[in-house]
Structure 1
């Protein structure tokens, strides 16, 4: 039976059990897979290798952060030319700010999981040598 320990940090994803618990990696894989576009679920190389999945999720979120920043920075210049009213532009900027906060939190969670997966892999390699 799996027992939840105190989270590693406040950025540790709630739905992922902490390292040391049975099946923690499977909860991490599910969480990481959910961060990616659905088409990535079919790539068994990613789903069978959690470290690769975490790396790809990190890259995906970094790209999303860049895209949202560009969208936010260009709102006031580009949206009026599309006929978007000022109140809607301001609302859009607030939406992007919220999304940046969420993506930043997700990115921190992915980094923590990646570090834990790498530590777990190193520990398994050490045990295999003994």
Structure 2
């Protein structure tokens, strides 16, 4: 069993790699942190890591869409709110940085989801042999 990070920089550094004893616990913690705090009370999500990962993927994809809309409408809408040109350009740069971060998070969620599904499949095969 590997205790080294997968060969990608997209694996979240706070999540232990599959094969480590508590890797799923660290994955669940990381995924929960991607969601609004109120989701932490939904035990259906927190007790089923694959469901949590699915919802985290949807949440991050929604945030990506929201940031894209915000970025695309800055130059048209912010002047009507009294926002200056330099602040608008700074805001667009901020959104570009956020899009990069969200894209990296989305890739991390996909990697964790794949690892959770692999672990689930392996557990099911072990169970079938018993």
**Aligned twin of 1:37:** 36
**Aligned twin of 1:53:** 52
Q: How many pairs are equivalent?
A: 128
Task: Provide the TM-score with structure 2 as the length reference.
Answer: 0.96
Check whether the contact 1:16–1:28 (CA below 8 A) recurs between aligned residues: yes
Gaps in structure 2 of 5+ consecutive residues: none
**Aligned twin of 1:6:** 4
2:103 and 2:3 mapped to 1: Cα distance? Answer: 24
Shift of 1:4: 7.8
Shift of 1:5: 2.3
2:40 and 2:68 mapped to 1: Cα distance? Answer: 27
Check whether the contact 2:71–2:92 (CA below 8 A) recurs between aligned residues: yes
**Aligned twin of 2:67:** 68
Shift of 1:81: 0.7
**Aligned twin of 1:100:** 99
Gaps in structure 1 of 5+ consecutive residues: none
